[in-house]
Structure 1
Amino acid sequence: MPDEAPLVITERSSDGVLLVRLNRPERRNALSTPVLMALVAALNTATADPSVGAVVVTGNETVFAAGADIDELAQASSEDDVESPRFLAWQEIRGFTKPLLAAVEGWCLGAGCELAMCCDIIVAGKDARFGQPETNLAIMPGAGGTVTLPRRIGQQLAMLMVLTGAPITAQDARDCGLIALVTETGQALERALGLATTIAARAPVAIRAAKASIKLATALTEQAHLHREREIYLALLGSADKAEGIRAFKEKRAAVWTGR
């Protein structure tokens, strides 16, 4: 009997980018707990590999991920633990410290939209659709759809998306700040990989620090964030990469980053 297809497929480029493809086309890339755990394993590999500077997660040409696995959802109950393996997998994905990009074509719904929102930059083809339709099943989003979404796009539009279950277009998602870029259909992955390559070539210590500081925007008051930003900035001034960056600028050459 042949081995089952992997739940995610990883491809490592020579430019420091790890591509992670969701690989359940027969289930429209439904995000079962095993899929999330496979994604976590891929991200953990990227964390441990200093040559990986950025990660791109994608689906296929018609669907990024259409939601949670309906069979798994049918077996879930109100007696399940809050800190289940699924919950902990989501926490690990959100805690990934290197740049994480999403390339979205087609449907990006429910848990798929929540996964995209875990990413630092979302690039979508113009025919992509984003939605949180869980209320159609008499439940609600459970992995950030009522937490991250209103922080990204505001309470009014989040209410509209969640309470009606209706998806929005890629352009509407760009206009409201849910995603960063809209491309022609079929070009999201190419654009995301290009961005990831650019980011991976930059000083890793600075990129990780900048990502961490930006993510504090919804966790701290403005004054507390300004204070923390200054602390992170000062720590970077003592890095070997900062010294190399200054030298390279003065010598008019490309910098050679060490990640220290």
Structure 2
Amino acid sequence: MSNYEFIKTWTEDAVGVLQLNRPKVLNALNRPMVDEIVAALEQFDQEEQVRIIIVTGNDRAFAAGADIDEMAEDTPISLEKLDQFAVWDRIALIKKPIIGAVNGYAFGGGFELALNCDILFAAESAQFGFPEVNIGVMPGAGGTQRLTKIMGKAKALEWLWLGAPMPAKEAYDYGVVNRLVGKEVLFEETMKFAKRLSNQAPLSLRLIKEAVNKAVDSPLVDGLQLERKNFYLLFGSQDQKEGMKAFIEKRKPNFTGE
């Protein structure tokens, strides 16, 4: 267990788990909490024994938005000086796979945190949404951009303009969520998937993530060049030698991340 104030962290085999832990306010994200989340993600990214990261909430909420009390009196100048979203940008630099397990509410900043995960598992009863328009603002930690890239312009605008909750089934239908599972088995199913991934070659997972993220934001020719370089790079790894040798010998490979 960790010594953080607003989150809990632990490891289970090769999986690092980060649990949001402000249950009295439905895990609403204040700035110190975001700092802890990013610090924990970066710590897991550096730990050799951790191959996969899970981010989860609790029974009632993943995270029900940002802490409004904290920002109600902010001004454009105070926000510019604070530059509060710079810490969010560091999440995109995490090399290891991040799997989100969403139960209950994922609203506002909570939804943005979920969208920063590489893959999302959600309880069938989960709800997603950006209610910022209802209080006269808009998402600021990447919500408009990431949601649009996944859902497309028209559908993203509908949800962003209405500020209404999105049922988990609709989020699944539009590709926001990878898998829908029963509430009672959400963490179990997410962990099962994470452990399966943890048996894959770590360097392959890392470079596949980099190439796919490049595909989202770059012209095809740039993505192809990166894919090719990463493909070549993996041939310098021990895992490539082990993987191909195991294939030829008809046995399971033992990947070490080297």
Which moved further from structure 2: 89-98 or 205-214?
89-98
Residues 154-173 of structure 1: matches in 2 within 5 Å? 154-173=152-171
Q: What is residue 213 of structure 1 aligned with on the other side?
A: 211
Residues 66-77 of structure 1: matches in 2 within 5 Å? 66-77=64-75
Structure-2 separation of matches of 1:186 and 1:111: 24
Structure-2 separation of matches of 1:134 and 1:257: 45
Sort the Cα spacing of 1:181 and 1:134 in 2 relative to 1 into closer, same or farther, 3 A: same
Preserved contact between residue 129 and residue 163 of structure 2 (Cα < 8 Å) = yes
Structure-2 separation of matches of 1:85 and 1:187: 38
Give the match's secondary structure for 1:130.
strand
Structure-2 separation of matches of 1:224 and 1:47: 26
Preserved contact between residue 97 and residue 212 of structure 1 (Cα < 8 Å) = yes
- Tell me by how many angstroms 1:74 deviates: 1.1
Tell me which of 87, 91, 94 is aligned to 1:93. Answer: 91
Sort the Cα spacing of 1:95 and 1:101 in 2 relative to 1 into closer, same or farther, 3 A: same
Structure-1 separation of matches of 2:227 and 2:81: 31
Q: What is residue 249 of structure 1 aligned with on the other side?
A: 247
Sort the Cα spacing of 1:152 and 1:179 in 2 relative to 1 into closer, same or farther, 3 A: same
Structure-2 separation of matches of 1:75 and 1:183: 40
**What root-mean-square deviation, in Å, do the aligned CA atoms of Structure 1 and Structure 2 show?**
1.5
Structure-2 separation of matches of 1:59 and 1:175: 22
- Does 1:65 find its partner at 2:59? no
Residues 122-141 of structure 1: matches in 2 within 5 Å? 122-141=120-139
Letter in 2 for 1:42: A
- Does 1:224 find its partner at 2:246? no
The TM-score normalised by the length of structure 1 is 0.94
Greater share of residues in helix: 2
The total of aligned residue pairs comes to 256
- Does 1:11 find its partner at 2:10? yes
Structure-1 separation of matches of 2:209 and 2:117: 11
Give the match's secondary structure for 1:9.
strand
- Does 1:188 find its partner at 2:183? no
Aligned-residue identity in percent: 36
Give the match's secondary structure for 1:86.
coil
Structure-1 separation of matches of 2:80 and 2:237: 40
Sort the Cα spacing of 1:58 and 1:83 in 2 relative to 1 into closer, same or farther, 3 A: farther
The TM-score normalised by the length of structure 2 is 0.95
Structure-2 separation of matches of 1:85 and 1:13: 35
Structure-2 separation of matches of 1:235 and 1:154: 34
Q: What is residue 101 of structure 2 aligned with on the other side?
A: 103
Q: What is residue 144 of structure 1 aligned with on the other side?
A: 142
- Does 1:203 find its partner at 2:201? yes
Structure-2 separation of matches of 1:83 and 1:157: 33
Letter in 2 for 1:10: T
Letter in 1 for 2:26: R
Preserved contact between residue 105 and residue 186 of structure 1 (Cα < 8 Å) = no
> Residue deviations 1:20-44, cap 9 Å, x none?
1000001110111111111112112
